[in-house]
Amino acid sequence: MNLQDLSLYAHAGHIDALNLISIEGGIYLLEAHMDGRAHPLSDGKGKTLHLRSVEHARDMLTDMPPIPFHLVHAVVHDEMCGMHDGAQDVLRVPISFNSSW
């Protein structure tokens, strides 16, 4: 799904939520949840879209209707060691489309 598709689906009310996933190295990935599935956003060439920050994501999503929007961090243990230590949940924090600045 690209940004234009996301906008069309969002304005039609088909997007259930957006997750901004923070991964090691200061990279953020945006995924849209629709019909029980996660759809990562891609650039114009079909590659996964990498964002620089929460503010970068907000800038891209300025014309979106209100949709639940979450910042998702991977479990630190998994990032550091690459091994699961039992069942663990990710840290999922609701954020707004607007900056508090």
pLDDT tens by residue, 27-39: 999 999 999 999 9
Domain that holds residue 25: 3-94
Over 80: is that where the pLDDT of 6 sits?
Answer: yes
Residue 71 forms part of a structural domain: yes
Listed residue (5, 52, 59, 46) closest to 26, CA to CA: 52
Q: For all residues of the chain together, what is the average pLDDT?
A: 86
Q: How many domains does the chain have?
A: 1
Q: What is the pLDDT of residues 76-98, one digit of tens each?
A: 555 555 555 555 567 888 888 87
pTM: 0.82
Q: What average pLDDT score do residues 54-76 get?
A: 90
Residue 100 forms part of a structural domain: no
Residue 99 forms part of a structural domain: no
Residue 101 forms part of a structural domain: no
